[in-house]
Amino acid sequence: MAAPDRIRLTAVWTDRIEEEMSQEKYQLEKGLDLLKKEFGEESVARAVAAVSTWQVEVPSWAFGSFGGGRFSGYTPPGAARTIEEKLDDAAFVHRLTGTAGSVSTHVLWDFSRDGLHADYSLAREVFEAARQRGLKLGSVNPTYFLSGFHRGSLTSPEEKTRQRAIEQTQIAGRIAAELGQGVLSLWFPDGSLYPGQVELRHAYERMRDGLVESLRDVPPTVTVLLEYKLFEPGTYSTVIPDWGTAFLLARHVGRQAGVLVDLGHHPHGTNIEQIVAVLRSEGLPGGFHFNTRYAADDDQAVEPNPELARIFYELLLEEGSGIFPENWTFMLDQASSRENRIEAILHSIDSLQTALARACLVNRKILHQFQRQDDIIAATRFFNQALLQADVRPVLYQARSSRDLPLDPVMAYKASGYQTRIEARRV
């Protein structure tokens, strides 16, 4: 971030940025030593390496005016208005983080002229626009929830609608294979508001048959991820409400299908890291939509909380190796209604890296000793020394510093003047 132009920074910030930056350098120097002393040089090195290489996809829609819900109307200033502006923002996020080189897309938002049909040639244009900005297209999402899908997509009782959903899936599969990274990510808004509105068994079976039909001609190189969601827009039922249903459907689709976990799509009280453990144990392809939830399906920016660190702990392929399973895909899925979009994305990436670093620091060998001895308090304390107690920011600073990236991406964004420029241009 050489010489960022600092225009219109508030009084608070001109001071703070200097202070924060000097502090981070200090923390980097001193803090890394502390971590090495506690967790060992090797673990820390592995954590730094993991943070340096791990990638997460950024959703194109997070930069636009999507979002809102029932009470908003408000869009934060500077929201991107076109796919090109979204790619600009994504490229700037990647420039600041080096972590977000792929953009996940929604076909009816990003590759459609009429909001009804996907257009391969538009996808090719977007692919090219991304390439020019140093970005790739990541996972491709058919858009089953816009105009005409109010009675559902693959489970709609209307043949025409179902057909439209099938065709869209097929085009999306082709885009994923030819222009993306070979990942097709499916979420269906199908469900019901009241008992009796739909026949639950028929809905499931129509979904199963529709999936099989839609995906028959999708190239076998494409990994299909099936997302589950407890509710919304359905309140009484959604057609794939839990990972068990997603898994069952994935079996019917075939070996290249797996389960997509979105952190906000569970009932309260669900142990999400355990779902990851089971899916990983079965060797299934999988994926994540990262965000934070306190209430319902909040879709807020990711918070670096201990649950997230435990999820990363389960994701790490070899014990403590910091190497992730090849058949898993990581995506942000957040739709901030109030806060600055780009800062929210940067914050999420930072949070995910924090969780990743924490997970890498757990020494499984020692942990397993405690576990074997039924030394319960020692085990949980030792586990949480990495996941809750240690300050892992120096790991992130080290990883960034070695790649010539700014130590703190949010701070660097504030200092960059980018926000001022987009607010001026996008009115």
Residues 138-177 that bind its own copies (CB under 8 A): 145-147, 150-151, 157
In the shown chain, the binding pattern of residues 291 to 330 toward its own copies, with x for contact by CB under 8 A and - for none, equals --xxxxxx-xx-xxxx---x---x----------------
| Per-position x/- string for 243-262, each x denoting binding to its own copies as judged by CB under 8 A, each - no binding | xxx-xx--------------
Distance CA 307, CA 321 (A): 20
Of 121-129, 324-332, 337-345, 415-423, which segment contacts its own copies by CB under 8 A? 337-345
Please tell me the distance from the alpha carbon of residue 213 to that of residue 5, in angstroms, as a whole number.
53
In terms of CB distance, is 68 or 134 closer to its own copies?
Answer: 68
77 is a contact residue toward its own copies (CB under 8 A):
no
The distance of closest approach from Cβ of residue 9 to its own copies in the complex, given in angstroms and rounded to an integer, is 11
Contact positions with its own copies (CB under 8 A) in 182-211? 189, 193-201, 204-205, 208
Part of the chain binding its own copies (CB under 8 A), chosen from 50-58, 83-91, 130-138, 384-392: 384-392
Lookup: tokens for 330:
């990581």
Contacts of 33 (CB under 8 A, 6+ apart): none
Please tell me whether residue 116 binds its own copies under the rule CB under 8 A.
no
Return the sign of the alpha-carbon dihedral for residues 412, 417, 418, 422.
positive
Tell me the C-alpha to C-alpha distance, in Å, between residue 210 and each of 119, 150, 199: 21, 17, 16
**What DSSP state is assigned to residue 232?**
S
Residues 84-113 contacting its own copies, CB under 8 A:
none
Phi, psi of 192 (to 5 degrees): -150, 160
127 or 418: CB nearest its own copies = 418
Q: Minimum Å distance from CB 99 to its own copies? A: 17
Q: Is residue 390 a contact residue for its own copies (CB under 8 A)?
A: yes
Q: Name the one range near its own copies by CB under 8 A: 120-128, 211-219, 321-329, 377-385.
A: 377-385
d(CA 224, CA 46): 30
Q: Does residue 51 contact residue 395 with C-beta atoms inside 8 Å? A: yes
Minimum distance of its own copies from residue 68's CB (angstroms)? 7
What is the rounded (10 degree) CA torsion for 76, 78, 80, 86?
A: -110
Q: Are 107 and 145 in contact (CB under 8 A)?
A: no
Is residue 26 near its own copies by the rule CB under 8 A? Answer: yes
**How many residues belong to the site for its own copies (CB under 8 A)?**
122
